């Protein structure tokens, strides 16, 4: 059974409106502000994990998925931040684990 072209219409609309780049820019701003809220080693580790150069695929998928409904942009940003932070926590746990193994 072929997929209906209407299924992909929200994705096409979001790409055409170029809302994704602006959304990712605001996400980076929020992540940067969060990483600066800490001091010392935790600050450096958080900054490295949260603001490092990356593709931000997970938040982009949240943004694109939101196009199928009518959530507020604030809710989409908050969910994207949560998804990215959960992923980042896993990365930090891995880094700390590797540091413990080395010492």
One digit per residue, the tens of pLDDT, for the chain of length 103 reads 455 666 666 666 655 565 888 888 898 888 888 877 777 777 777 777 777 766 688 888 899 889 888 899 999 999 999 998 888 777 777 777 777 777 6
Global pTM reads 0.66
Comparing C-alpha atoms, which of 44, 43, 46 is closest to residue 84? Answer: 46
59 touches 50 (CB < 8 A): no
**Could you read off the pLDDT of 89-102 as tens digits, one per residue?**
777 777 777 777 77
Return the HEC string of the chain. CCCCHHHHHHHHHHHHHCHHHHHHHHHHHHHHHHHCCCCHHHHHHHHHHHHCCCCCHHHHHHHHHHCCCCCCHHHHHHHHHHHHHHHHHHHHHHHHHHHHHHC
In a domain, 6, yes or no: no
Q: How many domains does the chain have?
A: 1
Residue 75: per-residue pLDDT: 95
Domain that holds residue 31: 19-102
In a domain, 14, yes or no: no
Positive or negative, the CA dihedral 9, 10, 13, 18 is negative
d(Cα 73, Cα 41) in Å, to the nearest integer? Answer: 33
């Amino acid at each position: 059974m072929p997929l209906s072209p209407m299924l992909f219409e929200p994705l096409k609309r979001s790409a055409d409106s170029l809302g994704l780049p602006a959304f990712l820019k605001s996400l980076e701003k929020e992540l940067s502000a969060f990483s600066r809220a800490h001091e010392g080693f935790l600050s450096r580790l958080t900054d490295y994990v949260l603001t490092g150069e990356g593709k931000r695929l997970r938040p982009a998928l949240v943004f694109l998925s939101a196009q199928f409904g009518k959530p507020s942009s604030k809710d989409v940003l908050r969910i994207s931040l949560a998804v990215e932070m959960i992923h980042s926590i896993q990365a930090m746990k891995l880094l700390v684990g590797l540091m413990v193994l080395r010492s």
